[in-house]
Amino acid sequence: MMSNAIQELEAVPPNVSRFHLIQRIILGKPATVLAALIVLIFIIIALLAPVLAPYDPLAQSYLKINLLPSPDNWLGTDQFGRDILSRLIWGSRNSLIFGLVSPTLAAIIGTFLGVTAGYFGGIVDRLLSRVIDMLLAFPELLLAIMIAAVLGGGFWNIIAVITVAFIPGFARVARATTLAVKQEPYVEAATAVGVSTPVIILRHIVPNISSSIVVLLTLWTASAIRLEASLSFLGLGTQAPNPSWGNIIRDGLNNVFGSPWPIVGAGVGITVVVLAFNLIGDAVRDVLDPEIGQ
């Protein structure tokens, strides 16, 4: 599957402006427009969580345990009397931060490692490739669980866990595309006239492999949100009582007969956001693939 993805991801045609490219991605299909609006709405909700949340997400009340939805508590309360809607709103902040920041860091680090391995070759390529292959031998969730078990919870630990889990995939794609680009005549000409290696990499290699990385980044943002939710559900991600969609579902399972709304609300949030990012990722891939996008 990885090799097929690498073959699909080609460089963006140089005559396409960035504005026109974004316009084609967002406005290309009605489903993509809807997905972009959904992502924008959730980002706004996450940014304005302190304003939009009607209650403190950590505030408990024995007088409000397992209340049904009402005008005061739109999604009711949980087994600790906490407002479910407020926890979902604050949970979106954690889930989206991890889903956006971790893949971005993984893309930067993975691209650096992949370009280094692909461009220099030799012993550097062999060493980095063996490390990447070793990490790819573990499924992302299993690798994340093992790292999280060692590092424990905490904001930066979760960022590090998800980042490390995605670095091998970015590195492999960056290495494969770098091997192809460095054989191009313009790269060989730049080398022949004595252009320095950093300039060649930054001016010729990175721009021509960036489309592959952008596609992967867009698609794996959804995977990162699912991964963070899975870790939090297992108790290895965001630690209680701080809310994230994953541990909201875990708390809801312990009280499913008292109040099913935490599971419903967080489950719908994860499903809708992941589906929206996947639709945008598919649109990005279609536009950046010359056989489809032109």
CA 193 – CA 120 distance, rounded (Å): 18
Closest CA to 148 of 81, 228, 44: 228
CB neighbours of residue 101 within 10 Å: 17
Beta pairing partners, 77: 83
What is the average pLDDT value for the chain, to the nearest integer? 84
The structure tokens listed for 153 are: 């919870």
Q: Work out the average pLDDT over 232-245.
A: 86
**pTM above the 0.85 mark?**
no
Q: Work out the average pLDDT over 258-285.
A: 89
Q: Work out the average pLDDT over 112-141.
A: 88
CA 220 – CA 212 distance, rounded (Å): 12
Q: Can you name the CATH fold of 24-53+66-293? A: MetI-like fold (1.10.3720)
Q: Where are the alpha helices (DSSP H) in the chain?
A: 2-8, 18-27, 30-47, 49-52, 84-120, 122-136, 140-151, 155-181, 185-192, 197-200, 206-233, 245-253, 261-288, 290-293
DSSP code, position 77: B
Report pLDDT for 8. 42
Looking at 7-11, 115-119, 142-146, which range is the least confident one?
7-11
The structure tokens listed for 68 are: 């049904």
Q: What are the C-alpha distances in Å from 156 to residues 97, 132, 213, 274?
A: 11, 23, 24, 22
Report pLDDT for 11. 39
- Residues 287, 26: contact at Cβ < 8 Å? no
Instruction: Dump pLDDT digits (tens) for 29-76.
Output: 788 889 999 999 999 999 999 999 999 999 898 888 988 899 988 998
The structure tokens listed for 128 are: 């980095």
Domain segments of the chain: what residues? 24-53+66-293
Q: What are phi and psi of 239, to 5 degrees?
A: -90, 140
CA 294 – CA 285 distance, rounded (Å): 12
The C-alpha torsion from 252 through 255 and 257 to 260, rounded to 10°, is: -20
Instruction: Dump pLDDT digits (tens) for 159-198.
Output: 888 899 899 999 999 999 999 888 888 888 888 888 888 8
CB neighbours of residue 285 within 10 Å: 22
Let me know the angle formed at the C-alpha of 102 by 101 and 107, rounded to the nearest 5 degrees.
100
Closest CA to 287 of 18, 4, 36, 1: 18
